[in-house]
Structure 1
Amino acid sequence: MLTRVILIFLLFVLITLAFAQNRETVKGCIAGNVTMQFKPALLAGREVKTYVWNKVRGIFKDPSFAKFEPSVSSQLEIYYNEEHQVQNRLIHYPEEPATLYLTDLRKSDQEQYLLVVSYVDYVGTPPEWIIDLDVQDVCFEKPKDVGKCAVSTCYTGENGVLKTPDDREETVNGLKVINVCEKRTTGTYYCCNSKGNCIVQ
């Protein structure tokens, strides 16, 4: 009995580890861009027929999100555009078949995305990869040194506010790039969204 319990536990651990290796979390800023690089373990020497992405759409609804069929077209086919709200925001390059680029991020983009790959003339368990996309309501990009300036970006989505060290408030509709190049521009900056949630830098 004890041996059986141990075997069941080990099987559960192995399944969990295998699943964890096929899944990752990607974070992005609202109004910013994100790269979702799916990395399914493909079979060497096998021709891929289709790459199909799924995204939760609610119970009893087809989760199909997008499809890429290399032998048919170089274009990504997108399903249910109105619900997914990715019109002109989803970018796909044929030379990077399993990678999606999503621009102008919205909170509604935050979801679980599943890629399923099928092969030509092959029957078996299709390789999968899951990405949990986390879209932050408001965030500051880590400053980068550009010449003698420190450059950062405040992401707030629509109707945001940037508060500068000299107590000025600037409207942010999506994002605003900040250049700190002189002593008078240094200090504490507040990046705030329309709900009043702020991040300090």
Structure 2
Amino acid sequence: MQTSYKTVYAGGTSEIIEKKSRFIATVIPIKSEEEALSFIEQMKKKNWDASHNCSAYVLGLNQELQRCSDDGEPSKTAGRPMLDILLGEGIHNTAVVVTRYFGGTLLGTGGLVRAYQSAAKEGLANSIIIEKHFGKQYEITTDYNGIGKLQYIAGTMNLTILSTDYTDIVKATLLIPPDAFGSFQKKITEATNGRAVMEELADVYYAFLDQEILIENA
């Protein structure tokens, strides 16, 4: 199981100019190859008058699906260098298209590689990138005497309490990294004399963004 991975939360754009050629990068997050192919086609239609719309994308927790296209540029001068940027930055589930408007001056193979890589880097720099971590959601059921102890333990261990439901008993949903579960379970069992009941709910990936927690099923 992948314990963490980086991905684009919100895509960005950038533009660089090399010898009067414009290189415009557009980056988006993707969840499927169909989304990637649709995005590439949309960019080609939008920028129909461009010299090239080169692309690269990666999918999967282990970046197992990797695709790129030079779209008419010399072989391995555009798509592959862009893909190398995504892989080198450890980015997952992301697609990038770099649109080139030819400025009249040939850049040579080395110049093209540098231009497409620079454009892709700038596109990522202008995107919002988050790191998602693997964790488990647990529901802890306790009485009113135990909830304060649970909150204290969660606070000292920097664990996130997602919700708390107060009725005749108290049910709290916590997000716990796998390496912290054993310690948390021991502490909460000792603090409540074994009265707290823990139930595993789901495996998830989570990230924090501007004090908001983002969660998706693993």
The answer, yes or no, to whether TM exceeds 0.5 is no
- TM-score by length of structure 2 reads 0.24
State the structure with more CA Rg.
2
> More helix by proportion, 1 or 2?
2
- TM-score by length of structure 1 reads 0.25
